[in-house]
């Protein structure tokens, strides 16, 4: 089946630094990827939709300059959290639309802790 590999699974960074999270589709081409953020015991909130070769579409309230999304190839999308602060600590999950009819597959998530 369609697999999305997300790395790193956990990262701790200092406040003010930037962190990059990668999502790779391993056995299919992902023209569209979605990035979600999840706080403890809460739902997944869509941050942005990225389409290969074009600018990402951000949801209302999401700072595009802080959460940089790049989808330069059909198998790789990245989310960079710039100038991270403790309030950015969260669980970030990517998802890709697969070739199956309205199939979505999810990465395993990245636990970001900013200290």
Partner 1 sequence: AQSVTQLDSQVPVFEEAPVELRCNYSSSVSVYLFWYVQYPNQGLQLLLKYLSGSTLVKGINGFEAEFNKSQTSFHLRKPSVHISDTAEYFCAVSDQQGGKLIFGQGTELSVKP
- Residues forming contacts to partner 1 in the complex (CB under 8 A) are 4, 6, 9, 34, 41-46, 49, 91, 93, 95, 97, 101-109, 111
Six-digit token string for 104: 């979505």
- Closer of 18 and 108 to partner 1 (Cβ): 108
Closest CB 74 distance from partner 1, rounded Å? 17
- DSSP 3-state assignment of 88? helix
Q: Angle 41-44-49 (CA atoms, 0-180°, nearest 5)?
A: 160
Compute and round to an integer the Cα radius of gyration of the chain.
13
- Contact criterion met (CB below 8 Å) for 67 and 81: yes
- Closer of 66 and 111 to partner 1 (Cβ): 111
- Closer of 74 and 100 to partner 1 (Cβ): 100
Closest CB 52 distance from partner 1, rounded Å? 15
């Amino acid at each position: 089946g369609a697999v999305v590999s997300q790395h790193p699974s956990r990262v701790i960074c200092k406040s003010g630094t930037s962190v990059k999270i990668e999502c790779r589709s391993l056995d299919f081409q992902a023209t569209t990827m979605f990035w979600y953020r999840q706080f403890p015991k809460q739902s997944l909130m869509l941050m942005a939709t990225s389409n290969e070769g074009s600018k990402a579409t951000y949801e209302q309230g999401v700072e595009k300059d802080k959460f940089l999304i790049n989808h330069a190839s059909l198998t790789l999308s990245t989310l960079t959290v710039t100038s991270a602060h403790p309030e950015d600590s969260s669980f970030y999950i990517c998802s890709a639309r697969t070739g199956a009819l309205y199939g979505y597959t999810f990465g395993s998530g990245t636990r970001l802790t900013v200290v």
